[in-house]
């Protein structure tokens, strides 16, 4: 549905990112707001990490603010600024969806894992009996790892060029889900039923690929969460005969969850950190 024109009665939902140029989310959210009969508009704002706290403090004073969406690199810092969080935000230490409560504090949710699972299931990519390998242990990779574990996947490896960060995620995952096998082995690609790109590699043409999809079993699937474009990784995986999904369905599956959160339709199950 075509979004209605902005007016002074429009409630705004800034999406904070840095850099902001690659952000395409408003093209998904604004039609979804219109389809839900809401005069809301998502507005891109490029905000450097050092400016996040002050920007949120100012946005909290804007009278027509409906909520805030956060993407790279703001999710962990946004979580730290919340006074209340959902279970998904608490588990991951990340918030990508903020709303202002009546007491002036921010409530934070994390829709990344929920959107990932919804898209993977809707497209038949999730077989919880098979190992999953995730490239990238940042905000999205963390949310996806926790969502997969909560969904019943028993073997999850997360690797990263920042090996220390991947190791910390492995430990956090293992602590929360003692029964699963959490690892950091890139080699697990050879046995995976599903490989996930949760790195920013592929955002720009000529980026290197985060891994070689030829390493995957022939019946595996690739989920590249980059939504801005079809990546070289997706093309390479398709040419290997793998099932391939890009990032837009994940965004679409997040919208309903975030929209409900911004409406205040549901109360976070975990109110206090």
* Footprint of its own copies (CB under 8 A): 2-3, 5-10, 12, 15, 17-27, 30, 41-48, 51, 54-55, 58, 61-64
Contact 155, 181 (CB under 8 A): yes
Give the pair of three-digit tokens for residue 144: 């996806």
* DSSP label at residue 65: B
Minimum Å gap between C-beta 136 and its own copies is: 20
Pick between residue 16 and residue 156 the one whose CB is nearest to its own copies: 16
Pick between residue 24 and residue 191 the one whose CB is nearest to its own copies: 24
Pick between residue 50 and residue 181 the one whose CB is nearest to its own copies: 50
Pick between residue 55 and residue 83 the one whose CB is nearest to its own copies: 55
Minimum Å gap between C-beta 96 and its own copies is: 15
Angle formed by the axes of helices 139-151 and 163-176, nearest 10°: 30
Pick between residue 28 and residue 174 the one whose CB is nearest to its own copies: 28
Minimum Å gap between C-beta 231 and its own copies is: 17
Contact 70, 76 (CB under 8 A): no
Minimum Å gap between C-beta 260 and its own copies is: 22
Contact 240, 213 (CB under 8 A): yes
Catalytic residue flag (residue 71):
no
DSSP assignment of 160-172: -SSHHHHHHHHHH
The catalytically annotated residue of 75, 84, 99, 257 is 75
DSSP assignment of 186-222: GGGGGG-SEEEE-SSTTSSTTPPPSS-GGGS-TT-EE
The neighbour count for residue 175, using CB atoms within 10 Å, is: 9
Minimum Å gap between C-beta 30 and its own copies is: 6
3-class SS at 138? Answer: coil
Minimum Å gap between C-beta 135 and its own copies is: 23
What is the C-alpha separation between 82 and 235, in angstroms, rounded? Answer: 39
* DSSP label at residue 266: S
Pick between residue 59 and residue 134 the one whose CB is nearest to its own copies: 59
28-59: string of b/e by CB count within 10 Å (b at 16+)? bbbebbbeeebbbbbebbebeeeebeebbeeb
Active site residues: 75
């Amino acid at each position: 549905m075509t979004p209605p024109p902005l007016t002074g009665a429009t409630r705004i939902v800034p999406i904070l990112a840095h850099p902001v140029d690659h952000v395409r989310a408003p093209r998904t959210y604004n039609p979804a707001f219109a389809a839900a009969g809401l005069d809301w508009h998502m507005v891109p704002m490029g905000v450097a990490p050092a400016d996040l706290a002050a920007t949120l403090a100012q946005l909290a004073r804007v009278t027509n603010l409906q909520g805030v969406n956060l993407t790279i690199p703001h999710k962990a810092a946004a979580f730290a600024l919340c006074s209340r969080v959902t279970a998904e935000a608490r588990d991951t230490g990340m918030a990508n969806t903020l709303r202002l409560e009546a007491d002036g504090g921010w409530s934070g949710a994390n829709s990344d894992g929920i959107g990932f699972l919804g898209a993977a299931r809707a497209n038949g990519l999730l077989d919880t009996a098979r190992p999953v390998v995730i490239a990238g242990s940042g905000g999205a990779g963390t949310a996806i790892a926790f969502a997969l574990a909560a969904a019943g996947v028993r073997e999850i490896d997360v690797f990263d060029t920042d090996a220390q960060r991947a190791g910390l995620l492995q430990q956090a995952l293992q602590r929360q889900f003692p029964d699963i096998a959490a690892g950091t082995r890139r080699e697990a690609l050879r046995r995976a039923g599903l490989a996930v790109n949760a790195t920013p590699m592929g955002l720009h043409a000529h980026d290197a690929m985060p891994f070689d999809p030829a390493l995957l079993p022939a019946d595996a699937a690739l989920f590249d969460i980059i939504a801005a474009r079809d990546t070289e990784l997706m093309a390479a995986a398709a040419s290997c005969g793998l099932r391939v999904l890009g990032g837009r369905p994940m965004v679409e599956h997040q919208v309903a969850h975030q929209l409900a959160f911004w409406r205040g339709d549901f109360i976070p199950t975990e109110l206090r950190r």
